[in-house]
Structure 1
Amino acid sequence: MRLALAQLNPLVGDLEGNGQRILAAAERARAGGADLVLTPELSLWGYPPRDLLLRPALIQRQERVLASLAAACQDDLALLVGVAEPATGRRQPGLYNAVALVQRGRWRHVCRKRLLPTYDVFDERRYFLPGDAPAVLELEAGGRPWRLGLTICEDLWVEENLRNRWPDAVDPIADLVPGRIDLLLNLSASPFGRGKGEVRQSLAARATARLGVPVVYLNQVGGNDELVFDGASFVVTGAGRPLLRLACASEDLGFWDATPPAATRLAASTATTSAATPPDPWEQLLRVLVLGVRDYAAKCGFQRALLGLSGGIDSALVAVIAAAALGSERVEGLRMPSPFSSAGSLDDAEALARRLGLRTATLPIAPLMQAFAAGLTPELGAPPRGVTEENLQSRIRGTLLMAVANAKGGLLLSTGNKSELAVGYCTLYGDMNGGLAVIGDLYKTTIFGLCDWLDGAASGPCRAALGLPPDGELIGAAIRTKPPSAELRPDQRDSDSLPDYGVLDPLLKALIEALRTPEDLVAEGADPALVARVAGLLRRAEFKRRQAAPVLKVSDRAFGSGWRMPIASA
């Protein structure tokens, strides 16, 4: 049996458009001699469709799109499509997360997802009912019958170290053992997370060992709101090593030949696929961020992007990502110096823009600061000072950025990082302004690490592939080595208000991603006063994060849909 793995980038809710993407992949698969085409979880909808699933008109439209797909597939080529299956006679949630088989002019449902995640960014029980039986699909291919076990994404995540997710006894892999299947197919929409690729491969290898058959893991690719799906689909056999690995962070179509009793032969892909080692973790992270910005802009209808260029490392990294995502000709950097801005920062911003080929403009904010001070003095009894004055600078800059973005129809990219968002070292209606927080899930120390890699020789091939200058420094040593500062007053440094990021970030990661308590950290040797201070800042900044731009998720726990803390709480 020849399988075609169609790693697709859908637009959420675009049923007709996604149907055409699936049909185009089927045509390419047919030309490549495929017997069966796999598409990702909910491929007809795009994942996650969220409350679009509650619209009856879209459920009805799905039926029409499936009928048109069936009409276009009159031959023996079999096509697996991710759909929302109505549950007859059931009240809301009245759907199954399902898979339909399209073949010989007809279609039918053949699989229902059994494990419905409700942790982190997932809320599937709001929309779906769980399937209650294993799915085995029987197909004829290559002159013999095949028994294919079908699972959907989370159904593979059942190992002992994950049982806290599923305390009941449901184990879709174990339930397939009596079915004596020839292959296990897993159709997924699994968002990117650092280190997550290795976890997926380990789970597939374990399923291979339990079932004694190869596992084909097909993942969605593309950015949908704050989630970025990295694709990186693969096939594993008994040895646990991938025989086929599809591209990371781009659409791909790969072919794989299964021969009984096990799959042994790798066929060429139409894109850059191989069984080679996956990309360097820094490269994966960069490519995913670039994909997230590119798709957010394209799927939301933005042709251009704008950001504030301060000469600091955060805005420099966002500028690099934006240039790779959209092309430097479609990205503009705005320099907005105050009386406290150093000449070095202005020069560093200009040098970065030249290296990237960005257009820049300079709008000094000193006159606006003076006008605000004059306007506020009668009410305050004196010109604004301290935090009030510092926040005014940020809000003036945020207003200018929004005005230029409005006038030019561009997407304003926020440049704040996760460390700042965590402790509230950011200004509402100021530097938090924007339509997308590009690096809002990267701690400051991670940003330094990524920028060091970007400026190293190892990044050259990746930079060239993304349309960036392949040689020499990109961020620049002057930017990478300067002490972090918002330059809101003379000689101001981040360290005046915050612990060193090398100390702060591990505490934040423990509190945010591992959900450790302050008492846990103190028991492990952390300074009690420091832990109490950081935990307090994290809690008090919740109201700011609730008003932040969407944050591209790249960690196990990002601020956004996977972080649902109350604002008013003890």
Structure 2
Amino acid sequence: MRIALAQINPVVGDLLGNADRIHAALAATEVNGKVSADLLVTPELSLWGYPPRDLLFSAAHLEQQQQALDQLQQRLHAEQLDVALLVGVAEVAPDQQHPRLFNALALVQARGWQVVARKQLLPSYDVFDETRYFRASSSPSTLSLRVNNRDWQLGLSICEDLWVDEELHGQRLVGPDPIASLIPERLDALINCSASPFSRRKGTLRHELAARAAERLQCPVVYVNQVGGNDELIFDGASFVIAPGDDTPLLQLPEFAVSTEVWTAASSTDRLEQPSRAHQQANTPDDDLEALFRGLVTGVKDYATKCGFKAALLGLSGGIDSALVAVIAAAALGPDHVQSLLMPSPWSSSGSIADALALATRLGIASQIVPIQTLMEGFEATLTPALNAEPSGITAENLQSRIRGTLLMAMANQQGQLLLSTGNKSELAVGYCTLYGDMNGGLAVIGDLYKSTVFALCHWLDSPDAGACRAELGLGGSGPLIGQAILEKPPSAELRPDQKDSDSLPDYERLDPLLMDLIEQRMSGEQLIGAGHDPDDVKRIERLFRRAEFKRRQAPPLLKVSKQAFGSGWRLPIAAI
């Protein structure tokens, strides 16, 4: 039996367009003009794109789903194709109780289509909110297909249904064990249709969970994942087939690329003895930093494209954060579609201006210089009578940031560009950022990267290890991108003479590990001190962290690359102790 893994990049809500993408994936299996697959498997909710959120409440979209499924069936009939499509759908329940949908899979064939599986475990943690829309199924799903005069018994599961091993995952949802319930079925293969967002090192965990399921069921596991960016979420694809007792996948699709590959399943009698590796891929990046960089590039590219932007704008300061965002934007959109604006104040060093211009030249992106001193003087003259004093301290510093933010928004508005915010996670955590200033933008590209990760990624980009990736993404395979001057510069907002980040914050070597424990491990003050963090740092950072919640609530959407990002999965109250 030939099973095609269709790793597609859907557009959320574009049901008819996503049906076209599924059909195109089927066409990609053609050999000598003939479709080579018996079954084509697509990701979770593949007709909708994941996550569709409140579009699932739209009657018009549900009607489009019916049209899309009918059109897929009619195409198979018109083309006389003896192939089955496994498509992710939202099934409407026959009653009026809420929620009234099931997260389901439909089997589409030339003679018609029908729902064949429903999701059992519905995540409502982090960015997931499936219990808002779906009912949980209480029974396992199997599919019997007759191919080549043999009946093939397939188990069907959807994303979270695979995440049931507490030893590996560290947690599991309350509810049935969908894998255990399939053990008596003596399956030829388990199929898992997923929309699993990217986060660092998550791919290894997926392999381990699938391998454990393969051992329990004594059959291969076919894992098909969505690819591409949707809002803040990035999906890496990296679909695979893995057999019991084998650490190496029988088939591995690439990360961050639309791809369709066909795997030939052996019969139930010999599937464990002679696994086929004819289509094995070796192009999933081993380097964690490369995967992180490719993920961010994918996130920016798809966010811009799916929101209708053809070009991007960012403020370039000569610092490392804006340098990294510029590189990501150039890789995502092409240097001809990226513009940078330099806005020096009296406190900006000449070195920073030179470093920013040199970076723009290396990347081939446009740059302009708009000094802000006269605007600063105008604000000061206007505000002094109302304040009975000149703006000073934090007020004066924030005015500089807000002047820059206003200029950037005006340019992006006039030119139809996506404004990219350049702040990092460390700054956002402690409020070292300015509302309506440097926080302005339509997308926070590195808002889920701690400052230490920004440095690590930039050092990797300038290393020989990044050569192949850079060349593939049009960044040139050799020579500096970020440059030593930026890499070695002490972090500074340059809002007052000789300012350094370390004047206001602990060194990032101390700050970032503390923030990781505070944010991702949810440690209390006592636990942080017990983990070895400096008590004075803990008291100070906890206070800054709590006070900055109102800023985070108003920040632009950020690309999620960690297991706990500030965004839809972060739900702390603002007015709280």
Deviates more, 1:134-143 or 1:26-35: 26-35
SS in 2 for 1:264: coil
Contact kept, 8 Å, 1:72 with 1:105, in 2: the verdict is: no
Equivalent AA in structure 1 for residue 4 of structure 2:
A
- Distance of 1:100 and 1:277 partners within structure 2: 30
- Distance of 1:458 and 1:164 partners within structure 2: 35
Counterparts of 1:310-349 in structure 2 under 5 Å? 310-349=317-356
Q: How many residues align?
A: 565
SS in 2 for 1:536: helix
Contact kept, 8 Å, 1:243 with 1:275, in 2: the verdict is: no
- Distance of 1:64 and 1:276 partners within structure 2: 37
Contact kept, 8 Å, 2:16 with 2:67, in 1: the verdict is: no
Shift of 1:322: 0.1
Task: Give 1:237's aligned residue.
Answer: 243
Task: Give 2:277's aligned residue.
Answer: 266
Equivalent AA in structure 1 for residue 210 of structure 2:
A
Task: Give 2:75's aligned residue.
Answer: 72
Among candidates 98, 120, 125, match of residue 126 of structure 2: 120
SS in 1 for 2:265: strand
Equivalent AA in structure 2 for residue 396 of structure 1:
I
SS in 2 for 1:99: strand
Contact kept, 8 Å, 2:254 with 2:284, in 1: the verdict is: no
Q: What are structure 2's unaligned runs of at least 5 residues?
A: none
Equivalent AA in structure 2 for residue 23 of structure 1:
H
SS in 2 for 1:242: coil
Contact kept, 8 Å, 1:255 with 1:266, in 2: the verdict is: no
Deviates more, 1:327-336 or 1:382-391: 382-391
- Distance of 1:122 and 1:97 partners within structure 2: 13
Equivalent AA in structure 2 for residue 40 of structure 1:
P
Counterparts of 1:106-505 in structure 2 under 5 Å? 106-161=112-167, 162=169, 164-168=171-175, 170-238=176-244, 239-261=246-268, 262=271, 264-268=275-279, 274-275=281-282, 278-505=285-512
- Distance of 1:404 and 1:55 partners within structure 2: 36
Shift of 1:144: 1.2
Equivalent AA in structure 2 for residue 233 of structure 1:
S
Matching of residue 51 in structure 1 with residue 29 in structure 2? no
Task: Give 1:37's aligned residue.
Answer: 40
- Distance of 2:399 and 2:282 partners within structure 1: 54
Task: Give 1:3's aligned residue.
Answer: 3
Contact kept, 8 Å, 1:373 with 1:384, in 2: the verdict is: yes
Shift of 1:275: 4.1
Matching of residue 22 in structure 1 with residue 11 in structure 2? no
Shift of 1:28: 2.3
- Distance of 2:531 and 2:303 partners within structure 1: 41
Alignment identity in percent?
62
Shift of 1:536: 1.2
- Distance of 1:342 and 1:275 partners within structure 2: 47
Equivalent AA in structure 2 for residue 224 of structure 1:
N
SS in 2 for 1:73: helix
SS in 2 for 1:111: strand
Matching of residue 61 in structure 1 with residue 68 in structure 2? no
Shift of 1:383: 1.4
SS in 2 for 1:172: coil
Shift of 1:104: 2.2
Shift of 1:61: 1.8
Equivalent AA in structure 2 for residue 255 of structure 1:
V
- Distance of 2:76 and 2:121 partners within structure 1: 31
Equivalent AA in structure 2 for residue 117 of structure 1:
P
Contact kept, 8 Å, 1:255 with 1:267, in 2: the verdict is: no
- Distance of 2:533 and 2:277 partners within structure 1: 51
Deviations 1:265-299 (A, max 9, x none): 2344xxxx714664311110000000000000000
SS in 2 for 1:216: strand
Shift of 1:32: 4.6
The 1:360/1:345 distance shift into structure 2, 3 A limit, reads same
Equivalent AA in structure 1 for residue 139 of structure 2:
A
- Distance of 1:145 and 1:278 partners within structure 2: 37
TM-score with structure 1 setting the length:
0.98
- Distance of 1:266 and 1:72 partners within structure 2: 32
Contact kept, 8 Å, 1:246 with 1:274, in 2: the verdict is: yes
- Distance of 2:29 and 2:97 partners within structure 1: 39
- Distance of 1:109 and 1:32 partners within structure 2: 24
Deviations 1:195-253 (A, max 9, x none): 10001000000001101000111100010000000001111112132121111111111
C-alpha RMSD of the superposition? 1.1
- Distance of 2:406 and 2:14 partners within structure 1: 34
- Distance of 1:278 and 1:150 partners within structure 2: 29
Contact kept, 8 Å, 2:254 with 2:283, in 1: the verdict is: no
Deviations 1:397-422 (A, max 9, x none): 00000000001000000000000000
Counterparts of 1:82-121 in structure 2 under 5 Å? 82-121=88-127
Contact kept, 8 Å, 1:395 with 1:427, in 2: the verdict is: yes
- Distance of 1:275 and 1:138 partners within structure 2: 32
Shift of 1:105: 2.9
SS in 2 for 1:412: strand
Equivalent AA in structure 2 for residue 421 of structure 1:
L
Equivalent AA in structure 2 for residue 20 of structure 1:
D
SS in 2 for 1:516: coil
The 1:163/1:310 distance shift into structure 2, 3 A limit, reads closer
Contact kept, 8 Å, 1:257 with 1:266, in 2: the verdict is: no
- Distance of 1:244 and 1:423 partners within structure 2: 44
Equivalent AA in structure 1 for residue 63 of structure 2:
Q
Equivalent AA in structure 2 for residue 259 of structure 1:
A
Shift of 1:433: 0.1
Equivalent AA in structure 2 for residue 94 of structure 1:
R
Deviations 1:519-568 (A, max 9, x none): 11112332222101111111110000110000100000000001001000
Equivalent AA in structure 2 for residue 140 of structure 1:
R
Q: What are structure 1's unaligned runs of at least 5 residues?
A: none
